Amino acid sequence: MKKTAVHKKGMLLPLLLPPAIWLFLFLFLPYLNLFSYSFWKPGPFDVVKEFTLHNYAKFFTATSSGSVPYHVLIDTVELALVVTVFTVILSFPLAYYLNFKVTRFKQTIYMLVIIPLWVSYIVRAYSWKIILGTNGILNSAFIWLGVTDHPLDIFLYSKVSVIIGMVHIYTPFVLMPIYTALEQIPRNLLEASKDLGAGRFQSFLHVVVPLALPGVIAGATFAFVLSMGDFLAPSLLGGPDSSTMIANIVQQQFGTSNNWPYGSAIGIVILVLVLAILELTGRAEKRFSALDTVAMRK
């Protein structure tokens, strides 16, 4: 038995070594470099390697007249929460319908739902720019229907357009884990619920929803984290308001502002926040998964 265990460990090492090296070189080292930059000073032509906490102090103490106030991060979190809520609202009914109502061509319909993931992110963002633009499809439809006699400029270059674009882009990421969670629900539980006198709504509320919660949490986490770090959609659809997104601020610091230490400090703050969220949602997902396992055994 001991020889078998040693042999298995010897076989696992060559398999685990390449991904471990990859993660070290392209994940751990870049984050370590970003962390070190956050404690240095910006210079006129290059970074001055002198320890300072000014970058973090600047982020948390800046006012509306400052370069990057910390409330930009709060605004970004609020927008990410809105995107997350809408993606879950769209994904859950669709995943439920595919799992419990569709009998033929289920996999085909599922592939059609997630096919936007095969299309370039930029193409999807630009498509909403064409739809929401002043001379876009939406304004043309409103003029044709007589809703307005001139193009409306309230759709594009606003937070609303950013939310619409992000919801469309990240809905497939939410749909997949919810669909998987619903697919794993034993159908005999629903039958037992009906046999015990529960109606459709009661079965849905007390059986389907609790068992689907781990998938909902996983999908919501995907949507929230991806929305937090998105800078392309706000740049393309947000216009001047794109500066209210924290990821765009980081992009500006590493680009036009050439203030790498400040951008690194903001990046580290975002990283810590995302890791904390992942830890909380991971614990919640494990808790609900354990409760679901106990419930199914009973």
Going from the C-alpha of 25 to that of each of 17, 71, 155, the distances in angstroms are: 12, 33, 43
Q: Which two tokens stand for residue 226?
A: 């991806």
**pLDDT tens figures, 103-142:** 788 888 888 888 888 888 888 888 888 888 878 888 888 8
pTM flag (> 0.95): no
As a CATH number, domain 75-297 is 1.10.3720.10
Q: How many CA atoms lie within 13 A of 218 on its CB side?
A: 20
DSSP per-residue letters across 242-292: GGGSHHHHHHHHHTTS--HHHHHHHHHHHHHHHHHHHHHHHHHHHHHHHHH
More confident residue, 80 or 19: 80
Sign of dihedral through CA atoms 236, 233, 78, 94?
A: positive
Identity at 293, one-letter amino acid code:
T
pLDDT higher than 60, residue 66: no
- Is the model more confident about 187 or about 163? 163
Q: How far apart are CA 13 and CA 100, in angstroms?
A: 43
Residues 134 and 150: their CA atoms lie apart, in Å, by: 9
- Helix or strand holding residue 168 (H, E): helix 159-183
Residue 122 vs residues 28, 105, 138, 175, 232: alpha-carbon distances, Å: 28, 30, 20, 21, 8
Task: Point out the least confidently predicted range of 10-19, 48-57, 196-205.
Answer: 10-19
Rounded alpha-carbon distances, angstroms, from residue 144 to 137, 151, 155, 165, 271? 10, 11, 17, 24, 47
